[in-house]
Amino acid sequence: MTALDAAPLPAAPPALPWWRRWLRLLSHLVWWDMVSLYFGSWAGVLWNFVLPVVVILAYLAIFELTPGFRFGGGRDVVGGFGVNLVAGLIPWMLFQEGVSRAASAFVDNRHVLSQIALPAPLFPLANVGSALVRHVVALAIFAGILVATGHAPTKHWVVVPVMTAVLLVMTAGCALIVACLTVLWRDVAPTVGVAMLPLFFATPIIYPTYVVPGPLRVLMDLNPLSGLVVGYRDLLVTGRWPMDGPTWYSLGVGLVALALGIVLVRRVGPELAERL
């Protein structure tokens, strides 16, 4: 036997309660998600922040510096087209990125899930987590630009994290649902990708709510993302408290989605490794 065999092995570190283990794993997976997206590139993790910056700057440059664009007809609309667009785009990007990347979360990580017993929901949640990091960066950049261009920060900005929390519940719920459904039917992931485009236009991101005619308006009001996007815009740009009704509606739908997601994870989870 070599000397190595006789080396005393270190004692086991104390076992952690499950929620601390989950949190530690989640933070690791979020970090890994951000690193692996651009793995091997020179800028690496920094790419996570380049993309939001470029999107924000591009939209602002085009729509703010071109005088022809107006956001609606002027009825209590504050700011130009670019500012209003970006304020709606930032929450949309969190939802869109989180959900569409989570759709393939289990399938993409099958090499790990079939080898190591891990709490499976952490994988789609990590996709949402890394989208949240980019979201916060985008918010900070956007706020910086607003301040730099003469929009004084308002007391409404303080409430943005509440809106983010509601958005997060909705995104996490949908992420869990589509991640589980993709395991059952592989067609779900591409369907989610395709569905994002109509959903984008069904959400008042590039237009103000009041330009939508009657019958389509019902559709828009049923879309739980509408309240959130309008809420972000009201808080960040218009300087108005968002309407409670749509916000509560979004929270309600978000909680239902989250509950459904948890039910699905419990149903699909035990069969995950063999279905992947």
Contact positions toward another protein, by CB under 8 A? 1-2, 4-7, 9-13, 15-16, 21, 24-25, 28, 32, 36, 39-40, 111-118, 185-187, 270-271, 273-274
Q: How far is the CB of 74 from another protein (least distance, A)?
A: 51
Calpha distance 216→80 (Å, rounded) = 25
Q: How far is the CB of 265 from another protein (least distance, A)?
A: 13
Q: 23 or 222, CB closer to another protein?
A: 23
Q: 118 or 143, CB closer to another protein?
A: 118
**φ, ψ for residue 253, nearest 5 deg:** -60, -40
Calpha distance 207→197 (Å, rounded) = 15
Q: 117 or 148, CB closer to another protein?
A: 117
Q: How far is the CB of 179 from another protein (least distance, A)?
A: 17
Q: 75 or 185, CB closer to another protein?
A: 185
Q: 118 or 133, CB closer to another protein?
A: 118
Q: Which two tokens stand for residue 153?
A: 């920060």
Calpha distance 47→42 (Å, rounded) = 9
Q: What 3 state SS string does 202-213 have?
A: HCCCCCCHHHCC
Q: 39 or 198, CB closer to another protein?
A: 39
Q: How far is the CB of 22 from another protein (least distance, A)?
A: 10
Calpha distance 60→85 (Å, rounded) = 8
Q: How far is the CB of 4 from another protein (least distance, A)?
A: 6
Q: 27 or 149, CB closer to another protein?
A: 27
Q: Report, in this order, helix, strand and coil percent for the chain, each rounded to 5.
A: 75, 0, 25
The CA distances from residue 189 to 134, 150, 171, 230, 250, in Å, are 22, 43, 15, 28, 23
Q: How far is the CB of 176 from another protein (least distance, A)?
A: 19
Q: How far is the CB of 244 from another protein (least distance, A)?
A: 42
**φ, ψ for residue 257, nearest 5 deg:** -60, -40
Residue whose tokens read 């592989």: 186
Sign of the Cα pseudo-torsion (218, 223, 224, 226, in order): negative
